[in-house]
Amino acid sequence: MTDITLLTCRAYYKPDNITPYIQNILLEQELLKSAFEAQGLKVDITYWDNPSYEWQQTKSVLFRTVWDYFERFDEFWDWLEQVKTKTRLINSYELIKWNIDKHYLRDLKNNGIQVVPTYFADREITLAFKK
């Protein structure tokens, strides 16, 4: 059993074209993996939509670079709902859910934390832009 799985998106999992940006992502990932292994933990790396990964075979999943989730939001949401029952999520399911809805920026602002000026569009407005 794996102690911790570092989670990424497919674009950063064994990429063919390594730009300086991707090189930095891979470096950070390797540093984190090495640090966990130095503590005696068994570490794996995979992408969130890996159809052959057995999520119940890892004790914890650490969300890192899952940055394509918004392009396939419904698929990501379904995956998240399933995987939360199979392993421990780091960050917690509740925190991930809060973060996905970018209204968390309003929560931060209301608690005195400076955020980038943000406008929240209603779904109806967003759909009107598509027309």
pTM: 0.84
SS3 6: strand
Q: pLDDT tens for residues 38-52?
A: 999 999 999 999 999
How far are the Cα atoms of 2, 34, 63, 85 from residue 92, in angstroms, in the given order? Answer: 19, 23, 10, 12
- The alpha-carbon radius of gyration of the chain (Å, integer) is 17
- What are 9-49's pLDDT values in tens digits? 999 999 999 999 999 999 999 999 999 999 999 999 999 99
Domains, the chain, with CATH or none: 2-100 (3.40.50), 102-131 (no CATH)
